[in-house]
Chains A and B, each alone.
Chain A
């Protein structure tokens, strides 16, 4: 074949290959499903296509995506973290208590909450690695301790409100549509992407999640990498809790406990597997978007709550079945 021949033909689109690539990318599927459900929501209820809808969708997706970041890293590293909801709640309580309707305390809150998250994460990692207990049991136990401490330290009734400027920095709408939480996302998302995809630590996390033995033989300090994933997870959950306090303006004991489950679902739906070593943060963001759009659609359908709960559960199970069928890498 001459150069002339090839220049005369347009490259053929291999749709089969594209389709295979598409279906093998959970993130792409999650984005596509989100778009589909989004379109369905608008078709069912055209009035629903408004600024509030778009803005809330972005806000709730970003909050869920930030709260799921730590879980993504831990899961890729082969672990599991159920303490995210408790850490988020504790950070939200600390934020509203410390700010107490005053501005100018963000840095203080940030440092204290990140330190608290790091300590909780370290405890998780330490017990998982050094004592060898199952991650699910350890992180649930630590989660219970963090919840109990919230109760004891606040007598069950946390005081205070987040500062007005801080609340505004989370919920303000640019052009009546884009919530200001995207500014936090603009800083946070690239850090997570860099950490997982570009840094040496990220490569080690994937390696450890894929095969601990192989990682060890290549010189990776496996235990320290695992502990570090839990520490980072704790810090990221704490950061999500700070933003959560801005979103809700005040906090309660265990206010974000449900996020321990929803964040895990978002991560799995986004293509990160329980077996470890597989997943991306882009997928998690897609998972968070899908969960938010799905919840919105079920409300728009106006079905009885019981039916909404059943449908929500069934769809989540279906998605989890679709995404978690990849074989674990042999150890």
Chain B
């Protein structure tokens, strides 16, 4: 009898301890305040999706014991507003600050201040190019986007073919890396760039500039365009001009639906879709969460990036062409015209690939 009572008591104690430990785990949910600073959101479907992805990633972090409250701040391309908003976020005690900056420099003092306050400060999307501060830059490999596009154009058009290059905004780091990729691959493939233009990441400007290029009567075989490809392609509808022999790259629902329709029955215009996922912000958040969990980055983490600026370049995972479009047709047709292909690395994927 005594033994039975002892066993029962023992079991009760074990169960009690288990219950306590479980209850303890629930209490250990850590509350974090996240501030996402962006230079632009409204009017830019990419940035809209970028913010939505961050919100989804923040919600998903609950599974890992992080209850993240989210706040978004938009500077509308004004560096003074951006600095003021960052200062407010530091003062209000945010734990993680994600910044998609207005410019690639100029925030060193505010970054240092945030770090002094123990805030996890991560720069993402537009690379921050300063050697004087030690922050993590999480960006999509922009060079690859340009390189992949021009390489495929070279395959399709062959050596000596003429192309026009419509870039985004000169001076923007993402744009400049893409341009490097476009130029390098064009050189390797023997493509001649007969005209260089900018659409300034504006759909209206993209359509207008493509219209004016067509109007000029310039002879070219293909169009290399740094996103806003949907609007550039729309210029062929409005002018009624003959489609070029190559077009790329874009990654919006509108662009994909347009090129799929053009090439529905047979290949009429070879093209490429290369994704520049807005989910890069959500991936950056998950880098921050891993840092808060006390993990350390692997030693070779900057191999596919830039150690000087502590930049990690995430590879673009989805791309397709007229050759394998059937695999992506369903996805493309389900998207809203302005939406872009997106995905991001989860907390575990980031931990596995980039942390010790």
Which residue of chain B has the shortest Cβ distance to A172 in the bound complex? B240
Within 8 A of B (CB), among A150-167: 150-151, 155-161, 167
Residue of B whose beta carbon sits closest to that of A52: B239
A253 touches B237 (CB 8 A): no
- Kindly identify which residue among A147, A302, A304 contacts B42, using a CB–CB cutoff of 8 Å: A147
A148 to B198, CA, bound (A): 27
CA distance A246 to B208 in the complex (A): 15
> Which residue of the partner chain B has the closest CB to A176?
B240
Give 1 or 0 for each of B100-118: 1 = CB within 8 Å of chain A CB.
0000000000000000000
Residue of B nearest to A304 (CB): B196
- CB closest chain-A residue, reference B337: A250
Query: Which chain A residue lies CB-closest to B202?
Result: A258
How near does chain B come to A131, taking the closest CB pair, in angstroms? 25
Query: Is B71 engaged at the interface, CB distance under 8 Å to the other chain?
Result: no
Contact B42–A148 (Cβ < 8 Å): yes
Instruction: Name A residues whose Cβ lies closer than 8 Å to a Cβ of B.
Output: 45, 47-50, 52-53, 55-57, 59-60, 96, 147-148, 150-151, 155-161, 167, 171, 173, 176, 179, 247-259, 295-296, 299-300, 302, 304-306
Residues in chain B near residue A304, CB distance under 8 A? 196
Give the nearest-CB partner of A89 in chain B: B43
Closest chain B CB from A290 CB (angstroms) = 15
Is residue B267 within 8 Å, beta carbon to beta carbon, of the partner chain? no
- B residues contacting A by CB (< 8 A) are 41-43, 45, 48-49, 52, 167, 170, 195-198, 202-205, 207-209, 211-218, 231, 234, 237-241, 254, 336-339
A103 to B220, CA, bound (A): 36
Please measure, in the bound complex, the distance between the C-alpha atom of A150 and the C-alpha atom of B254, giving whole angstroms. 19
What distance in Å separates the Cβ of A38 from its nearest Cβ neighbour in chain B?
12
A to B CB contacts below 8 Å, 20 in the list: A47-B216, A50-B217, A52-B217, A52-B241, A53-B216, A56-B211, A56-B238, A59-B238, A155-B52, A156-B42, A171-B238, A248-B231, A252-B43, A252-B203, A252-B337, A253-B45, A254-B42, A256-B204, A296-B215, A305-B198
Minimum CB–CB distance from A68 to chain B (whole Å) comes to 15
* Chain B positions within 8 Å of A167 at CB level: 237
Flag if A158 contacts B215 (CB, 8 Å). no
Closest residue of A by beta carbon distance from B195:
A302
Given contacts A60-B211, A158-B337, contact A255 B41 (CB under 8 A): no
- Closest beta carbon of chain B to A291's beta carbon, Å: 11
* With A45-B216, A52-B215, A305-B170: A156-B240 Cβ-Cβ less than 8 Å: no
Tell me if B48 and A258 are in contact (CB < 8 A): no
Contact B240 A299 (CB under 8 A): no
Chain B residues within 8 Å of A158, by CB = 336-338
Cα-based distance from A191 to B121 in the complex (angstroms): 58
Chain A residue contacts of B254, Cβ below 8 A: 250
Given A56-B212, A173-B240, 15 more A-B residue pairs with CB atoms under 8 Å apart are: A45-B216, A47-B218, A52-B214, A52-B239, A56-B211, A56-B215, A155-B48, A159-B337, A161-B337, A252-B203, A258-B205, A259-B204, A299-B216, A305-B167, A305-B197
Q: Is the CB of A45 within 8 A of B217?
A: yes
CB neighbours of B213 from chain A (8 A):
299
Report chain A residues within 8 Å CB of B207. 248
Complexed CA–CA distance, A258 and B213 (Å) = 20
- CB within 8 Å for A247 and B209 given contacts A156-B45, A157-B336, A299-B216: no
Kindly state the separation between the CA atoms of A305 and B42 in the bound complex, as whole angstroms: 25
Q: CA separation between A179 and B207, bound complex, in Å?
A: 16
Evaluate contact between A53 and B215: CB separation under 8 angstroms. Answer: yes
Establish whether residues A156 and B197, one from each chain, have CB atoms under 8 Å apart when the complex forms.
Answer: no
CA distance A250 to B215 in the complex (A): 23
Choose from A55, A96, A248, A259 the contact partner of B239 (Cβ within 8 Å). Answer: A55
The closest CB in chain B to the CB of A301 belongs to: B216
C-alpha gap A249/B261 in the complex (Å): 14
Are A255 and B203 CB-contacts (below 8 A) given A45-B217, A55-B240? yes
Chain A residues with CB under 8 A of B202 = 258
Residue in chain A with minimal CB distance to B253: A157
Bound form: Cα–Cα A307–B52 in Å: 37
With A47-B216, A52-B214, A296-B215 given, is the CB distance from A306 to B42 under 8 Å? no
Q: How far is A254 from B52 in the complex, measured between Cα atoms in Å?
A: 18
Q: Are A249 and B237 in contact (CB under 8 A)?
A: yes
- Specify the chain B residue showing the minimal Cβ separation from A299: B212
In angstroms, Cα B136 to Cα A298, docked, is: 41
| Least CB distance, B348 to chain A, in whole angstroms | 28
Is there an interface contact between A47 and B42, defined as CB atoms closer than 8 Å? no
Complex Cα spacing A150 to B48, Å: 12
| A156:B198 contact, CB within 8 angstroms | no
Q: Is B215 a contact of A248 with CB atoms below 8 Å? A: no
Chain B residues whose C-beta falls within 8 Å of the C-beta of A247 in the assembled complex: 238
The residue in chain A whose Cβ has the minimal distance to the Cβ of B50 is: A156
Q: Is the CB of B212 within 8 A of A295?
A: yes
A59, A171, A176, A305 — most chain B CB neighbours (10 Å): A305
The smallest beta-carbon distance between B252 and chain A, in angstroms, is: 9
How far does the alpha carbon of A257 sit from the alpha carbon of B170 in the complex, in Å? 21
- Given the known interface contacts A59-B238, A60-B211, A247-B238, the answer about A253 and B43 at a Cβ–Cβ threshold of 8 Å is yes
